[in-house]
Structure 1
Amino acid sequence: MKKFEEKTYQTETIYKGKIVQLDIDSVTLPDGNTSKRELIRHPGAVAVIAVTEEGKLVCVEQYRKPMEKSIIEIPAGKLEPGEDPKTCALRELEEETGYTSDDLEFITSFYTSPGFADEIVHLYFTDQIKPMEEQPDGDEDEFVEQIQLTVEEAEALEKEERIHDAKTAYAILYMKLRNAR
């Protein structure tokens, strides 16, 4: 057995929705005792650090029900079953911003909340964006407004908690480090 590994001996699915599934896993702990783990299963997501010719970060503002407020984020979205993350990243960039790119570079992947969820976000970068000739229809239940920000403007919005999510904070830090080269 691997150090700290917990062996699942029973899984009960409590809820299965369009986006997430809630499982209760019964586990045997490394010391032989047992416990329960509440787990959110998520298909994964993508996010795109898209930068204009002027060096501005392309973001979208949208209402986030869990926080009961609008926040400003980099374009992102959920993976469909079996979907390639790069394909999804391009789709989300196009749907949410009206921009497309022939040059998406994979940066990294990270877990959003590994204490209770298996959601992984695949992060891409492009500074080769161009407006689409025909604007695509977004998701019917998603209302977004595009905003372009300098790194300094984005940092100010972080302080105001208008930018308040990990993927966008990561994007701002990435841009600062990239610009420092």
Structure 2
Amino acid sequence: MANRKTQLVEQLMPLIETEIRILQKSLDSASEAATHPESKPENKYDTRGLEASYLAGAQRERLNELKNALFSLQNMVVRDFTADDRIAPTALVELEQDGRQSSYFLLPLGAGFMLQWEGKPVQVLTPQSPLGQALLHKNVGDAVKIRAGSAIKEYEILQVL
């Protein structure tokens, strides 16, 4: 099973690589804008260059995070889970909520990306998210509740792979 779940990680890596390329182009543009002669302040209230510099700094930080995430994915050990195992990172979890089933791949990074597993969509979830936190250390058959705005959502854990 772990080899099959590794395919999910292999789907995620090019998505992160694409994000890295897009962010690198954006960073290059922001860096150029920050140092461009037209960004020189015309008066003490003109902050165009400073704003571009802040943007470039934030993008550089995000780019480093993505590069580290990619490195972590490339070196991550994907483990198999049984119905008796508690949920932990690299678990593929099937949930039911209000009669609808959904699948989540719990990873330390890559939240929000959608992948495909046996023809079904699988959303990447991190332990830092409300649902990820609720799922950690739970078992098949457990129910978890999370607050989504003013509503409470309840999920039943159907399967853990």
Q: TM-score normalised to the size of structure 1?
A: 0.23
Decide which structure has greater helix share.
2
Decide which structure has greater strand share.
1
In our comparison, the structure showing a higher alpha carbon Rg is 2
